Structure 1
Amino acid sequence: MLAEPQPLSIGVVRESAPGERRVALVPKLVERLVKRGLRVVVEPGAGAGALLADEAFEEAGAELGNAWGADIVLKVSPPDKFEITKLHFDTVLIGLLKPLSDVDGIAALERSRVTAFAMEAIPRITRAQAMDALSSQSSVAGYRAVLLAAERLTRFFPMLTTAAGTVPPAKVLVLGAGVAELQALATAKRLGARTTGYDVRPEVAEQVRSVGAHWLDLGIEAVGEGGYARELTEEERAEQQRRLTAAITKFDVVITTALVPGRRAPTLVTAEAVRGMPAGGVIVDLAGESGGNCELTEPGAEIVAHEVTICSPLNLAGEMPGHASELYARNVTELIELLVDGAGRLSLDFTDPIVSGACVAGRARKDS
């Protein structure tokens, strides 16, 4: 008599990267996958950093065991060299794998014949919005960046009227208008600061205003034919930087997150701008992993230069592991459900732009 086929297994491993407290799946999403007939195996202690006990995973239908031996292994941070050796031939790996910066790691996965899907490589299309881990984790980082700035600033964020006089609100400038930046603007506004946003794309001014912030207009237009943005000339770029530097000196807090995938982050905050900021001011530079947007940034460190505190945390989302894990787990679950058919079997359709776009290593991708 033929044995019944085993259900597809999903492995949730414990993160080993320093300071990484997130977990790739949470109990409420375990329940969702188990209802689909999938087997979820959780490495003991995988959720400890996010204060999720092993018992919570078991109550949701998971089992504790060797998660590295599962058919699909879930991670947050990229696996290190030792962890890659734990992955079986033809394992499917899903995680934030840094495909553009961790070239050696992707090559090691390729050599191990692992099929790897990078959450940050999922195409930015409407159908993939629920899988957009970059946006979900950026939202957390933008929120945390403001709290970090408020803690380091030597003044109040909100305006206060007291018997001793009126304290004016802190002035906060956020450079960029992406998910992290808009969340930062909204959070700073809730804390009572006077908020201002800036982006090289003038068409996002309304998004900045939609969260109650002012728009920083440097007076340089980059609109070309048909309303499309045109490339600035060298002279215009120099003038833009000069005007931005002058503007930065008027703010108590500057938050910046500009990243260019696979390249060094652009310098937006010059040493001259730092020198001109008020004493006790704060810069939170979220682009430290790519060198930073501030000329004086030391990635991963907190320094004081010209009486201004410059913070460059490398994993702010990992500092709020509860909600960060929940959001990431939803992104991952949506991808898993795309990769698994109605019968609970792995079905990698590389004609699907989401599947092909997110796959950064694997024989199936090459052979398609």
Structure 2
Amino acid sequence: MIAGVLKEQPGENRVSLVPDIVKQLGKQGVTVWIEPDAGTRAYYPDESYVQAGAVIKPATEILQQADIILSIQIPDEQSWKSIPAGKVLTGIYQPFSNSAIMQQWADRQLTTFSLDSIPRTTRAQSMDVLSSQANIAGYKAVLLAAWSYSRYLPMFMTAAGSIAPAKVLILGAGVAGLQAIATARRLGAVVEVFDTRPAVKEEVMSLGARFIEVEGAADASAAGGYAVEQTEAYKQRQQERIAESIAKSDIVITTAQIPGKKAPILITEEMLDRMRPGAVIVDLAAATGGNTAFTENNRTVVHKGITIIGDSNLPSSMPSDASKLYAKNIFNFLQLLVKDGDLVLNFSDDIVQGGCITHSGVITNERLRQADSVKL
């Protein structure tokens, strides 16, 4: 079996496999082809792949001959249109945001596995790319906010006077939010956290943050760690509590997303107007619309003195470690697809089935099949 790794498009610095994982796959009878300079932006030169047993091949050969093609983001249109029927693609393809492309891949008889769609179960934890990458995003979001903020984060007592610690509000206590809490606390900030799931209160408090409670939240226990739609009455109470905290916050990190839907607006224009000039918001939900009324993905917007940074791809700014973690996720997922060096698609496995988006000419993901934008 040949696994081919494509070089990502400009703006994406990560790579699907790192040399250590290439070596492990080689021991299992998998031949790895790497496009030239695929790992350069993540500080893995071609030589390191060759030493690990990979073969450097042009993209044209990888697209035509590899049994499974690995790319974190969707390849450019010219590339994927050259892939023969029956090939397998694996990456983080955000199928709900790219449903039209997924339909075209189905029409072309391509099999697609999008690892952001695998079930978030205990068994799948080692393959959970959302968690491994969100951990980095939460860490980097705080550092980015601290760099953009005009004041100190920790308390300082000097001969010239005292500096109060920055007040950080984190909306969402998933993997990214929890890492953001830990990082902000290490930097000496005072941290408050809001989440619709009361079950995360203990984790939040164990990290030294204050948990903001709003009663009446919908049960999110079956949502795989994601936010769920809430009632209008709850949303009203939620906005009131968030507004109180926003008004006194110096830095806000937002992380709330709902699979297959636009990110909820948690910070309205009225709330922004109550923030003090110089405050910073880092919106990690920017790719799906953002959690503020003015978020723009991959852009920094200044609204009445408030800096709003929209960035859903912060892991790409730490490409070396992000690639290392992602490659391990890929390796663990491939253990379900590779048997004695051959590609075997076992759709009776719930993780394989859950991660599959297209196969045998159809959209296989039921939720995506029901999306209006998908042609059935």
Common fold by TM > 0.5: yes
Tell me the equivalent position of 2:102: 106
Distance 1:305 1:46 in 2: 38
Between the aligned residues of both structures, percent identity stands at 45
Does residue 63 (structure 1) correspond to residue 55 (structure 2)? The answer is: yes
| 1:126 alignment partner, SS class | coil
Q: Tell whether the 8 Å contact from 1:22 to 1:321 is kept in structure 2 after alignment.
A: yes
CA offset digits 1:171-217 (Å, max 9, x no partner): 10100110011011111111111111110122211111122211123
Of 301, 312, 315, the match for 2:313: 315
Report how far residue 233 of structure 1 moved. Answer: 4.9
Change (3 A) 1:299 1:103: same
Among residues 64, 81, 84, which one is paired with 1:85 in the alignment?
Answer: 81
User: Which residue number in structure 2 is paired with residue 174 of structure 1?
Assistant: 170
Residue equivalent to 1:352: 349
CA contact (8 A) 1:278 1:308 kept: yes
SS of residue in 2 equivalent to 1:186: helix
- The residue identity in structure 2 corresponding to 1:179 is V
- Indicate the residue corresponding to 1:184 in structure 2: 180
- Given the superposition, is the C-alpha separation of residues 364 and 37 from structure 1 closer, same or farther in structure 2, using an over 3 Å criterion? farther
Are the aligned partners of 2:357 and 2:363 in contact in 1 as well (CA < 8 Å)? no
- Alpha-carbon deviations, 1:265-289, whole Å to 9, x = none? 1010111111111211101111111
8 A contact 2:103–2:363 mirrored in 1: no
- Asked whether the 8 Å contact 2:283–2:312 carries over to 1, the reply is no
Give the alignment of 1:1-368 within 5 angstroms.
Answer: 8-16=1-9, 18-65=10-57, 66-68=61-63, 69-218=65-214, 220-222=215-217, 233-341=231-339, 343-363=340-360
Unaligned runs of 5+ in 2: 220-226, 365-376
Question: Are the aligned partners of 2:284 and 2:311 in contact in 1 as well (CA < 8 Å)?
Answer: yes
Deviation at 1:165? Answer: 1.3
One-letter code of the match for 1:326?
K
Contact 2:109–2:361 (CA<8 Å) still a contact in 1? no
Alpha-carbon separation, structure 2, partners of 1:217 and 1:103: 36
- Corresponding residue SS for 1:19: coil
Letter matched to residue 243 of structure 1: R
Runs of 5+ consecutive residues of structure 1 not aligned to the other structure: 1-7
Contact kept, 8 Å, 1:27 with 1:56, in 2: the verdict is: yes
The C-alpha deviation readout for 1:290-316, integer Å capped at 9, x for no partner, is 111001212221111121111101311
Contact 1:222 1:230 in 2 (8 A): no
Equivalent-residue separation in structure 1 for 2:53 and 2:361 (angstroms): 31
* 1:80–1:105 contact (8 Å) kept in structure 2: no
CA distance in 2, matches of 1:309, 1:237: 25
1:3-27 deviation digits (Å, cap 9, x = unpaired):
xxxxx111011011x3100000000
Native 8 Å contact 2:264 2:290 kept in 1: yes
* Structure 1 consecutive aligned stretches of length 4 or more whose deviation exceeds 4 Å: 229-233, 364-367
Q: Is residue 72–residue 91 contact of structure 1 (8 Å, CA) maintained in 2?
A: yes
- Count of equivalent residues: 353
Q: 2:33 is matched by which residue type in structure 1? A: V
Q: Distance in 2 between matches of 1:161 and 1:67?
A: 60
TM-score by length of structure 2 reads: 0.90
Letter paired with 1:260: I
CA contact (8 A) 1:73 1:92 kept: yes
Per-residue deviation at 1:67? 2.6
Separation (CA, whole Å) in 1 of partners of 2:231 and 2:336: 44
The 8 Å contact of residues 253 and 283 in structure 1, kept in 2 or not, is answered as: yes
SS class of match (1:116): strand
Paired with 1:313 and 1:191, the residues of 2 have a C-alpha distance of 21
| Greater gyration radius | 1
In 2, Cα distance between equivalents of 1:328 and 1:302: 27
Q: Which amino acid aligns with 1:200?
A: T
CA-CA distance at 1:147 after TM superposition: 0.7
SS of structure 2 residue aligned to 1:40: strand
Aligned AA for 2:357?
V
